[in-house]
Chain A
Amino acid sequence: METKQAENTTQPQEIPKLTALVLEKFPGRVTARHTCLGDETITIPREGMLEVFAFLRDDKHCRFNLMVDLTAVDYLGLRETRFELVVHLKSLALGHRLRVKIPVPAEDPSVDSLINLWGAVDWYERECFDMYGLIFKNHPNLKRLILYDSFVGHPLRKDYPIHLQQPRVTLRPVRERYDYMCRVMKDPSETEQPPL
């Protein structure tokens, strides 16, 4: 896997086009970068991220007029900065793509909303808030997109208990099958849990 990655990644000394543009405009702002199969990725700090995104959208060499995807990753226990916001951009005019990553610490999981740059991020940011609990500052309607309002917590966070369910109606007891499942699965942590 690593050798393959090395083949597909350009050598560190040659800076690809889009990364070079950002580096030229915002020196020292790109904290990490790589290129894979011709697509560039840059990591920028969340302070001043809106300037960078505005530049990417409006600069005549970038012209990223399409926000393709916005999501997050939870690196609990793997990295020092727990969350990472990932934004995929595409330029329909120039045909190139860019992936921008923004590390977000766990103690203050807030980032600036991109709603004033790309209107399409509205529901993406709401989903991201729903699943990961990232707070998007200045989002006009930051409430849960998919889950119900009575849900507590954010299920795609790595510390959300994997089998914890939050039913909205009282569930009927089906104890026999639950016991059977516990026996079959032979998972000691399961037997301690009350039936859902």
Chain B
Amino acid sequence: MKPIMGQGEFVTTRLDSLINWSRKYSLFQYPFVTACCGMEYMASNASHYDQSRFGAEIPRFSPRQADVLWVVGTINHKIAPVLLRVYEQMAHPKWVISFGACASSGGFYQNYSVVQGIDRLIPVDVYIAGCPPRPEAVLDGIVALQNLIAERGPTGTSGKNPRQTKEVLTLSRQ
């Protein structure tokens, strides 16, 4: 948002930018936690790293109330239909963060049971690398998602950058 200040009484901006600005700072999350990455998710959500600084604070355990689906941990073929249903139950606009190596690519599991990356099931917006990712990488991922939201049209489906899988690889800073 690039506001042009009036005499302290009004702000001018584009409607798209305003809507996206409000969206990117109020991300309600649905944590789909299936494995050990969950501990790191909790750590990054707790006060030490304080995810709420970025407006992504409150987990909603109902897909109807959530904006961001966090897929945290290994997804195997047994639970894949559940993940798909949760994603379909979320209301637009919705985003997906793939948290950690297993969710992003299957991790070190290449066997009969594990889905080789959740992008085989649902479109993913941000991949966070790591096994598990450091909280700094998680925060980096949130910022990457915010930038992605800001780029897109207000519905999340139109605009300059249409909704599509866009890989944003985040790395923990040394």
A→B interface (CB under 8 Å): 146-148, 155, 160, 162-169, 171-172, 174, 177, 196
Q: Are B112 and A148 in contact (CB under 8 A)?
A: no
Q: Are A169 and B81 in contact (CB under 8 A)?
A: yes
Of B111, B113, B121, B123, the residue contacting A169 (CB under 8 A) is B121
Question: Restricting to B75-90, which residues have a CB under 8 Å from any CB of A?
Answer: 77-78, 80-81, 84
Interface string of B100-127 (1 = CB under 8 A from A): 0000010000111101110111110000
Of B112, B117, B120, the residue contacting A164 (CB under 8 A) is B112
- Rounded to whole angstroms, the CA-CA distance of A163 and B109 in the bound complex is 10
Q: Name 19 interchain pairs, CB-CB below 8 A, sorted by A.
A: A146-B78, A148-B78, A160-B112, A162-B111, A163-B110, A163-B111, A164-B112, A165-B113, A165-B115, A166-B77, A168-B78, A169-B80, A169-B84, A171-B115, A171-B120, A171-B121, A172-B122, A172-B123, A174-B119
Residue from A155, A164, A165 with most neighbouring chain B CB atoms (10 Å): A165
Q: Which residues of A contact B123 (CB under 8 A)?
A: 172
B→A interface (CB under 8 Å): 77-78, 80-81, 84, 105, 110-113, 115-117, 119-123
Q: Are A177 and B117 in contact (CB under 8 A)?
A: yes
Considering only CB atoms, which chain B residue lies closest to A156 in the complex? B112
For the complex formed, measure the closest distance between the CB of A177 and the CB atoms of chain B, giving whole angstroms: 7
- Rounded to whole angstroms, the CA-CA distance of A171 and B114 in the bound complex is 13
Q: Are A172 and B77 in contact (CB under 8 A)?
A: no
Of A148, A160, A162, the residue contacting B77 (CB under 8 A) is A148
Q: Are A174 and B120 in contact (CB under 8 A)?
A: yes
Q: Are A165 and B84 in contact (CB under 8 A)?
A: no
Chain A interface, DSSP helix/strand/loop, else mixed:
loop
Q: Which residues of A contact B122 (CB under 8 A)?
A: 172
- Rounded to whole angstroms, the CA-CA distance of A163 and B110 in the bound complex is 7
- Rounded to whole angstroms, the CA-CA distance of A76 and B84 in the bound complex is 38
Q: Which residues of B contact A177 (CB under 8 A)?
A: 105, 117
Q: Which residues of A contact B121 (CB under 8 A)?
A: 169, 171-172
- Rounded to whole angstroms, the CA-CA distance of A196 and B105 in the bound complex is 13
Q: A169-B121, A171-B121, A172-B121 are in contact. Are A196 and B116 (CB under 8 A)?
A: yes
Q: Are A172 and B78 in contact (CB under 8 A)?
A: no
Q: Which residues of B contact A171 (CB under 8 A)?
A: 115, 120-121
Q: A147-B78, A148-B77, A174-B120 are in contact. Are A167 and B112 (CB under 8 A)?
A: no
- Rounded to whole angstroms, the CA-CA distance of A171 and B121 in the bound complex is 6
Q: Which residues of A contact B120 (CB under 8 A)?
A: 171-172, 174, 196
Residue from B112, B113, B115, B122 with most neighbouring chain A CB atoms (10 Å): B112
Residue from A167, A169, A174, A177 with most neighbouring chain B CB atoms (10 Å): A169
- Rounded to whole angstroms, the CA-CA distance of A148 and B80 in the bound complex is 11
Considering only CB atoms, which chain A residue lies closest to B119 in the complex? A174
Q: Are B77 and A168 in contact (CB under 8 A)?
A: yes
Q: A172-B121, A174-B119 are in contact. Are A167 and B111 (CB under 8 A)?
A: no
- Other 5 A-B pairs with CB < 8 A, given A168-B81, A169-B121: A148-B78, A163-B111, A167-B77, A172-B120, A172-B122
Q: Are A155 and B112 in contact (CB under 8 A)?
A: yes
Q: A147-B78, A148-B77, A148-B78 are in contact. Are A165 and B112 (CB under 8 A)?
A: yes
- Rounded to whole angstroms, the CA-CA distance of A24 and B119 in the bound complex is 62
Q: Which residues of A contact B80 (CB under 8 A)?
A: 167-169
Q: Are B81 and A174 in contact (CB under 8 A)?
A: no
For the complex formed, measure the closest distance between the CB of A24 and the CB atoms of chain B, giving whole angstroms: 45
